[in-house]
């Protein structure tokens, strides 16, 4: 019988694991090609994972709220067309099963004894009416979290279940506030271990204690969502990893504004798509990255990895207030029509939580539009492991000095700020400044008579 192992696919360049949120199929259900089998969630996207074959679901390897590493087998599918396990010789099959079951029974007995031994020295989860995933139980055992402490954790998973991030946040809080873990005494003697612990305590620097924030009557406590927690950690990690520095350039985009106003109605009638400013800015960024390929890099230890492809991340706001960054692959190879269609498609599916895992990975540079919220400029945080991110400010009509061959005069122009954050470990001020100036020059030199 031919079986297919459905594994957790790569979800993104920096994503190593995902949380199983929903099983869409049960054991014995028929599965069509490309039909979704289960749903997962990461810090970047919630997604359905489809089957690569047709068949019947034989086995589910994980439970809801379990954290799965990329590449692990999540489900086993009997491929369509294969007959169920059977043999023509009934006697032989019985003997084979008996031969297999005997060592299996021995192993199961040994495993049960080991589990009983381990459980006797740790917590008894059977006394709790609350569901805890195997991963959460293991973390609780390893970190010495008592049942009383575990029951006090507010779960952010489905139906209030405690997730990996919930218990890790609890452990960080416990460490920060100086509370000692509930130590479970092992049955094996450890010679001089208390002495080692004492010496370690003397030499270890204690984490700074943070005073608890007072909560008064009428205050509402809103637990962070799973995605919110992971985004917060990702931002803190980026600031502690990269030496952020910013360059700002004011751009006259009057020609761009006038050209778009002239062609947008015709474009929508012909292509069935709205023409926003975003694809125009993306085109300008792709041109600048082509000119300055050392902005299209990542730093890996002592090595700089210069990326072959220009894959632009496009930060998009979600209805719940979080952000997601779909990626425009090979952006330098798209014409403006193709760029507009790609931008609109990714933006729409981002808002409807319909992005595929492959569409949020592989970005080499990111663009975020802070102007859509009215901000004039901003200082965006780099999306690791990239080395730069460009913030697009709001377009405003302002009085400006206009230089002509006949002299200077005051006129109303459409202007905006470009805010460029870059990693000063590998990008110096000259490169960072020239890159954003190239984007500005491309936009200011926009051909008002350009055909589309």
Known catalytic residues are 424
Q: With beta carbons less than 8 A apart as the criterion, state whether 56 and 78 touch.
A: yes
CA angle 314, 320, 324 (to 5 degrees): 20
Tokens of 450: 């350009």
Three-state SS string over the chain comes to CCEEEEECCCCCCCCCEEEEEEECCCCCCEECCCCEEEEEECCCCEEEEECCCCEEEEEECCCCCCEEECCCEEEEEEECCCCCCCCCCHHHHHHHHHHHHHHHHHHHHHHHHHHHHHHHCCCCHHHCCCCECHHHHHHHHHHCCCHHHHHHCCCCCHHHCECHHHHHHHHHHHHHCCCCCCCCCCCCCCCCHHHHHHHHHHHCCCCCCCCCCCCCCCCCCCCCCHHHHHHHHHHHHHHHHCCEEEEEEEEECHHHHHHHHHHHHHHHHHHCCCCCCHHHHHHHHHHHHHHCHHHCEEEECCEEEECCCCCEEECEECCCCCEECCEECCHHHCCHHHHHHHHHHHHHHHHCCCCCHHHHCCCCEEEECHHHHCCCCCCCCCCCCCCEEEEECCCEEEEEEEEECCEEEEEEEEEEEEEEEEECCCCCHHHHHHHHHHHHHHHHCCCCCCCC
């Amino acid at each position: 019988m031919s079986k297919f192992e459905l594994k957790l696919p790569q979800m993104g360049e920096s994503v190593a694991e995902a949380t199983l949120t929903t099983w869409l199929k049960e054991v014995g259900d028929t599965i069509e090609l490309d039909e979704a089998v289960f749903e997962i969630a990461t810090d970047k996207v919630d997604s359905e994972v489809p089957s690569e074959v047709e068949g019947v679901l034989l086995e589910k390897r994980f439970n809801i709220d379990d954290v799965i590493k990329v590449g692990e087998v999540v489900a086993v599918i009997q491929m369509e067309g294969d007959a169920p396990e059977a043999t023509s010789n009934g006697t032989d099959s019985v003997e084979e099963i008996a031969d297999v079951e005997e060592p299996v029974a021995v192993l199961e007995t040994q495993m049960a004894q080991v589990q009983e031994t381990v459980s006797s020295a740790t917590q008894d989860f059977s006394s709790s009416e609350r569901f805890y995933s195997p991963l959460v139980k293991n973390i609780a055992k390893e970190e010495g979290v008592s049942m009383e402490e575990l029951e006090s954790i507010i779960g952010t998973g489905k139906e209030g279940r405690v997730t990996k991030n919930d218990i890790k946040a609890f452990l960080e809080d416990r460490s920060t506030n100086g509370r000692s873990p509930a130590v479970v005494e092992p049955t094996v003697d450890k010679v001089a271990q208390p002495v080692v612990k004492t010496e370690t305590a003397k030499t270890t620097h204690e984490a700074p204690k943070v005073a608890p924030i007072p909560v008064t009557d009428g205050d509402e406590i809103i637990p962070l969502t799973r995605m919110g927690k992971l985004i917060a950690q990702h931002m803190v990690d980026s600031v502690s990893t990269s030496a952020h520095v910013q360059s700002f350039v004011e751009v006259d985009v009057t020609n761009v504004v006038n050209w778009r106003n002239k062609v947008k109605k015709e474009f929508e009638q012909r292509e069935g798509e709205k023409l926003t400013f975003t694809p125009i800015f993306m085109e300008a960024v792709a041109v600048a990255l082509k000119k300055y390929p050392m902005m299209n890099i990542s730093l890996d230890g002592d090595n700089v990895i210069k990326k072959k492809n220009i894959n632009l991340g496009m930060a998009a706001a979600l209805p719940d207030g979080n952000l997601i960054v779909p990626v425009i692959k090979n952006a330098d190879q798209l014409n403006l029509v193709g760029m507009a269609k790609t931008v609109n498609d990714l933006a729409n599916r981002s808002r409807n939580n319909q992005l595929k895992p492959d569409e949020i990975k592989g970005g080499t540079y990111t663009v975020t539009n802070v102007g859509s919220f009215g901000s004039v400029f901003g200082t965006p945080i780099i999306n690791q492991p990239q080395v730069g991110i460009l913030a697009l400010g709001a377009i405003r009509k302002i009085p400006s000095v206009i230089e002509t061959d006949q002299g200077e005069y005051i006129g109303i122009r459409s202007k905006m700020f470009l805010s460029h954050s870059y990693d000063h470990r590998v990008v110096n001020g000259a490169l960072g400044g020239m890159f954003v100036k190239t984007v500005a020059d491309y936009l200011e030199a926009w051909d008002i008579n350009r055909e589309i």
